[in-house]
Chain A
Amino acid sequence: MDALKLIGVLIVVIGFAIKFDTIATVVIAGVATGLVAGMTPMEILDTLGSSFISNRTATLFVLTLPCIGICERYGLKEKAIDFIRSIKNATTGRVILIYQVIRTLAAAFSVRLGGHPQFVRPVVVPMAEGAAIAKYGEIDEETSDTIRGASAAAENYGNFFAQNCFMGASGTLLIVNTLVSTLAEHGFENVEATVNPLSIATWSIPIAVISVLVGV
């Protein structure tokens, strides 16, 4: 009978794997778990509502959007592009590495640079390939694939491993909320005093720094 309780987990795994709508998947998993646990529909709605309300902190990132949007309007992305274009003595490796450092810092400060479509394709790839061509003359297709793959990867490393250094990042808030509400169920008291966005952001710094070193 106990195994039945895993129905929610199963729904989440399958729902995400088959790319069903993510929000609907999560809500269905929640309702199913409630039903299996023997709750009445009214109790399910009540639990769903109160846990949604008590986890509103996970959506605090919205308050940072107006400022970021205005910065974009006034040329944030353009100056980042200017900066990377100003690199002297560019080699392929150096261009990609510097981009990863910039991307890591940008993620840690929640600055959107535009990712693959707006930064990697128009700026990083031409510079990285240009440097290779300047040094070796022609490059074959396989080398070009490798350079492009590495450029795209630098974007992902910077983005993934540094985003939680920002207190208002949705990942940081997810960690805080999951831990606080789970530990409360386990009878821990005053969890917020230790688990909060500041402490999670601080503890996300080591991995961000290490990711840059490994990326080299």
Chain B
Amino acid sequence: MNASQVVAEVFYSLIGIVFALVGVKALRDPKAEKKITTAVFWFLLAFTFILGNHLPKWITGLCIIGIAVITAINGVKQSANDVPDPKKVRASADKLGYKVFIPALCLALVAVVAATLGGSVPALSWLTANNAIGVSGLVALLVALCLFKAPPKYTVIDGTRLMDNVGPVGILPQLLSALGALFTAAGVGTVIANGVSAIIPENSRLIACAVYCIAMALFTIIMGNGFAAFSVITVGIGVPFLIMQGANPVVVGALGLTAGYCGTLCTPMAANFNIMPAALLEVKNKYAIIKSQIPVACVMLVIHIALMYFFAFR
């Protein structure tokens, strides 16, 4: 392993510890629902992050099957969280003022600065863009602890609280990227590509961009989830018809996912963005939010296609 991989393993182990602590939190909560399955879920996940890379890979594969079984039977529940007392939060907001935004700004800025340094200074080559995210998380955490004079125990309390809020869906992006790789290895992309090649005439970059963006939006409308659409459509259309034809993968990827979000804006399938808020805001027409969003979504989709066409092939 080279230096950057060692650093990465340290960060993955830290993530594993966060997972394990969420499991411990569930075990120690006397009122927690489905305590055992919840704890097993988080411990399995922690195990794959900390030890998975050092053991035969089929063991991690088995853990993933276990994780899927637990979520399929709805076995993961949130345990009690130490939610901040609103009065204390108000008091500290008044005391700190807008300084409270500083750690959050650090989080984003340190990551960018660190990644840029890592890319240009040879001695810092271990600081890959991925490791830069971990570094920014630690630096911003230290800034927060010092600036707010916060007791260090809140690192664990608030870290596990948020992780528990995010819940099992937090590993969905990782699973979907893994699935994308598997699809490609099995030749799924080629099959979709053969089907789509009937629509896309050769050398028509504009049509290829349009088909990719519109397919992202349509699949997101059907599935209600842009992440899932991204792994399928990028493997099937984005890679063969754009990237293999010389398009810049960065532009295609960055615009591809948000093209899918144009679909999210139009679909009742994305209930937690479009339908539940309507109930929450006591809107009479439950499609009021979607109605307001469709024109913007259509304009944005056209802009996505145009940007991709003009920038991906430069």
Question: Could you list which residues of chain A lie within 8 angstroms of chain B, going by C-beta atoms?
Answer: 2-3, 5-6, 8-9, 12-13, 16-17, 19-24, 26-31, 33-34, 36-37, 42, 44-79, 82-83, 108-111, 115-117, 120-121, 125, 141, 145-146, 148-153, 155-157, 159-161, 164, 166-168, 170-171, 173-179, 181-186, 191-192, 194-201, 203-204, 206-207, 210-211, 214-215
Contact = CB atoms under 8 A, between A and B. Distances in A.
Q: Could you tell me the dominant secondary structure of chain A's interface residues?
A: helix
Contacts of B249: 179, 183, 191, 194-195
B176 A160 contact: no
Contacts, number: 484
A82 B92 CA distance: 13
Contacts of A200: 250, 253-254
A20 B133 CA distance: 32
B289 A33 contact: no
8 contacts: A9-B236, A50-B57, A52-B52, A55-B178, A59-B174, A64-B140, A174-B231, A182-B189
Interface in B114-168: 115-116, 119, 128-130, 132-134, 136-138, 140-141, 143-145, 148, 150, 154-159, 161-163, 166, 168
B277 A182 contact: no
Given A13-B219, A52-B175, A75-B96, A70 B148 contact: yes
Contacts of B291: 149
A200 B253 CA distance: 7
A73 B154 contact: yes
B61 A45 contact: yes
Given A176-B253, A214-B303, A148 B59 contact: no
Interface of B (DSSP majority class): helix
A68 to B, nearest CB: 6
A204 B133 contact: no
B84 A8 contact: no
Interface in B231-283: 231-232, 234-236, 239, 243-244, 248-251, 253-258, 261, 264-265, 269, 273-274, 276-278, 280-283
B32 interface: no
B1 interface: no
B243 A183 contact: yes
A65 B296 CA distance: 32
Given A33-B188, A73-B154, A200-B253, A108 B108 contact: yes
A23 B168 contact: yes
A27 B180 CA distance: 12
B209 to A, nearest CB: 14
A177 B239 contact: no
